[in-house]
Structure 1
Amino acid sequence: MSDPRFGLARHIVLPGPLPLDGGGRLAPAEIGYETYGTLAPDGGNAILVCHALTGDQHLASPHPRTGKPGWWARMVGPGRPIDTDRWFVVCANVIGSCLGSSGPASLDPATGAPYGMAFPVITIRDMVRAQALLLDHLGIGRLAAVVGGSMGGMQALSWAATFPDRVQACVCIASAARHSAQNIAFHEVGRQAIMADPKWRGGDYYASGDPPAAGLAVARMAAHITYLSEAGLTEKFGRKLQGREAKTFGFDADFQVESYLRHQGLAFTDRFDANSYLYITRALDYFDLAEEHGGLLANAFRGTATRFCLVSFDTDWLYPTAESRTIVHALNAAGAAASFVELSSPFGHDAFLLESPTLDRVIAGFLGNGR
């Protein structure tokens, strides 16, 4: 169906309206996605990879806006841990986002103008339901595995809980079964930064062509700090000055770490929509898998035949190892087959996106067990 070496970019309008957890339905619902590898005649070699908050479907192919390699190009491809010579890999942009799937920037059929804040609030489970309809369209009834890190890990867990008969294996990396108060607090800082930008205009900024870039950049800066570790920041930047011999005694970016964060913030505004940031962070904050299953996390996995692999990193303070252990305990209580490993890395939460031979071996080994 696609050259194993390159992603095949695709786009569909899902048949029928998409029911939402918040009530109502989304119609039309569009999905941008990419595929890698070749689907087996029986459809049994499909793996769904779910992206994180600011990720997209450009998993292992160059990003069309930035030209940078796909966000997990080191993990997906011929001979790589998720081997496209063997697996047919699908990655879809989540609904609520801004890179081909329905979101606030999409046109509202009722008005002919972008939805803006009239777009319905969505949940992680809504994202998963949309992905299930996409897989129906592709003729994939059952997944060999669903894999994701961070918000992608939440989608993977939601897949296993919502469609247990469609998931043979689940890989959840650097994630959690619900968002903590601290996580919600950081997201609220980012949302308030966007909404305080005069250019936000209540979410109605598309016609102006002048989005709230300053507010979105600050939101990204605040979030980016949570993706790193103190040790990593200290090792990379310390208190080193940026291109100068002495402090300016002003408010320019005197320190390298300040310059780095400003660059991250500005670069982000070139590829992401501010309203989408509001919607997806809200979906993350609403995520609570136990709440969806009577208040007991084990209920989400009761009776499942899905195999689980949980991975955490010792310097990740956004989704620390304790969060993964909570999931493992629930899986054990539910009698599910589960393996768990905490990996050592200086890179904090972002470790799952960076070079990690140990993570590569864990994923390749776990998927290999399904032969």
Structure 2
Amino acid sequence: MSEYIQHDQQGASVGLVEKQTFTFAQPPTAMPLACGSPLGPITIAFETCGRLNAARDNAILILHALSGDAHVAGVHAPSDEKPGWWDFMVGPGKGIDTDRYFVICSNILGSCMGSTGPASIDPATGRPYGLTFPVVTIGDMVEAQKALIDHLGIQRLHAVIGGSVGGMQALEWCVRYPTKVESAILLATTTRHSALAIAFNEVARQSIMADPNWNGGDYYGGPKPDMGLAVARMIGHITYLSDASMRLKFGRRLQDKADFSFNFDADFQVESYLRYQGRKFVERFDANAFLYITKAADYFDLERHHGNGSAVAAFAKARARMLVVSFTSDWLYPTYQSRVMVKAMKKNGLDVSFCEIEAQWGHDAFLIPSPRLSGIMKGFLDDDHIP
């Protein structure tokens, strides 16, 4: 069995998948970053499912959101209770059909989920990088992904697919490597952050840096800034939801109480929920990685970096077929931002499909099972299917 072919499928799931790593940019051939600093060696964690065909032209690269990882579908062991984060979308006969496509999902540069980031060991010192890790951009993340795709021997991707920060990476792929991408699916994303999005990220970062345990980013081996990171996650989580979803899920219902406590306990269900989300997040994520990834998202500006301030000029080099999807209740990246990019794409004569899906779940709607979204994506991908 090829190293790029996964284990037997189990029902509607891709079944067992394996975490893999690829290391490159060994000094003295370190990878130059947008900030001007070189970085190397770089390790990228990734997982694959499906089968790469003989022509190596049925590969789909899935790009995860801010705190995601490479575990997009399937399970690592039969005893796993929780499959990959997009298991309902990726698998045999699903929106992204692994009977037809070879799916790759890699953890982004700067993260803490297997790829090189601020929590990784700096070979020069033998200690975690911390804030000595250089600031990375969405473009740097794509450069690392490109190295992985080259390593896998794939000359052209059938599709790049991403939501939110993953959508930013997909956009960057389309304009940075236009001949390498056949099609792209862009979900709940934007060509650049609004002032509102930057503001929420900055408040979240400040909550981490205000935690006494942050210690200027040098907290490895000691107490971690868990409270600051938990609050940062709570702030972010609010932006992922919507007024409608919070009203339906929580309203003003009390948490296991008949009346107010008249102290600062979590009286309301929504308070308890946010505290739970914060506690759960600190168990799996690194505070410094959160700082770096949110900064990369804030720095992303397709118009500035590829179009001299013009959205139309930014897409001048793009060649891919595009599917842009927004959600009615997404107030973090609202539909008007998707319409701006669609208009710019069309002015360049690109083959663009656009759909606004009515959904009450806010920005996170693309991470919630939706037969309509699955159907739209499957139809778009299979319309240009490679046998």
Of residues 269, 277, 280 in structure 1, which corresponds to 2:290? 277
Q: Which amino acid aligns with 1:215?
A: G
Equivalent residues of 2:327, 2:358 under 8 A apart = yes
TM-score normalized by the length of structure 1 = 0.97
Q: State which of 221, 225, 236 in structure 2 corresponds to 1:207.
A: 221
Q: Aligned residue for 1:28?
A: 41
Residue in structure 2 matched with residue 265 of structure 1 by the alignment: 278
Q: State the AA in 1 paired with 2:298.
A: D
Match of 1:217 among 184, 206, 230: 230
Q: Distance in 2 between matches of 1:146 and 1:176?
A: 15
Q: Which amino acid aligns with 1:284?
A: A
Residues 64-79 of structure 1 correspond to what in structure 2 (within 5 A)?
Answer: 68-79=82-93
Match of 1:195 among 196, 205, 209: 209
Partner residue, 1:334: 348
Deviation at 1:68, TM superposition (A): 2.6
**Distance in 2 of aligned mates of 1:363 and 1:230:** 27
Q: 1:84 to 1:146 in 2, by over 3 A?
A: same
The question of whether the paired residues in 1 share the 8 Å contact of 2:185 and 2:323 is answered with yes
Q: After TM superposition, where is structure 1 displaced by more than 4 Å over at least 4 residues in a row? A: none
1:302/1:336 contact within 8 Å kept? no
Other-structure match for 1:50: 63
Matched residue, 1:227: 240
Determine the structure 2 residue equivalent to 1:14: 24
**Shift of residue 22 of structure 1?**
0.8
Residues 126 and 303 of structure 1, relative CA distance in 2, 3 Å threshold: closer
Local SS of the residue matching 2:162: strand
Q: Percent of counterpart pairs with the same letter?
A: 54
1:165 maps onto 2:179 in alignment: yes
1:153 aligned to which of 167, 180, 185 = 167
- For residue 343 of structure 1, the aligned residue among 338, 357, 378 is 357
Q: Once the 2 structures are TM-superposed, how far is the Cα of residue 321 of structure 1 from its aligned partner? A: 0.2
Amino acid at match of 1:337: D
Task: Supply the distance in 2 between the matched residues of 1:120 and 1:303 (Cα, whole angstroms).
Answer: 29
- Residue 117 of structure 1 is matched in structure 2 by 131
* CA deviation after TM superposition for structure 1 residue 63, in Å: 7.4
Aligned residues: 369
Moved more, 44-53 or 104-113: 104-113
Counterpart secondary structure, 1:8: coil
**Aligned-partner residue type, residue 2 of structure 1:** Q
3-state SS of 1:312 partner? strand
Instruction: Please point out which of 74, 78, 84 is paired with 2:98.
Output: 84
Work out the CA distance in 1 between the residues paired with 2:142 and 2:315. 16
Structure 2 residue aligned with 1:103, among 114, 117, 123?
Answer: 117
Q: Give distance in 1, aligned partners of 2:202 and 2:76.
A: 28
Where do 5+ consecutive residues of structure 1 fail to align? none
Normalised TM-score (structure 2): 0.93
Q: CA deviation at 1:298?
A: 1.8
Matched residues in 2 for 1:285 and 1:245: separation? Answer: 43
SS in 1 for 2:302: coil
Query: Once the 2 structures are TM-superposed, how far is the Cα of residue 67 of structure 1 from its aligned partner?
Result: 5.4
- Select the residue among 155, 167, 191 that pairs with 1:141: 155
Secondary structure of 2:121's counterpart equals: coil
- Corresponding letter in the other structure for 2:371: P
1:148 alignment partner, SS class = strand
Compare 22-31 and 292-301 and name the one that shifted more. 292-301
Aligned match of 2:50? 37
Contact kept in structure 1, 2:72 and 2:105, CA below 8 Å: yes
Deviations 1:187-206 (A, max 9, x none): 01110000000110110011
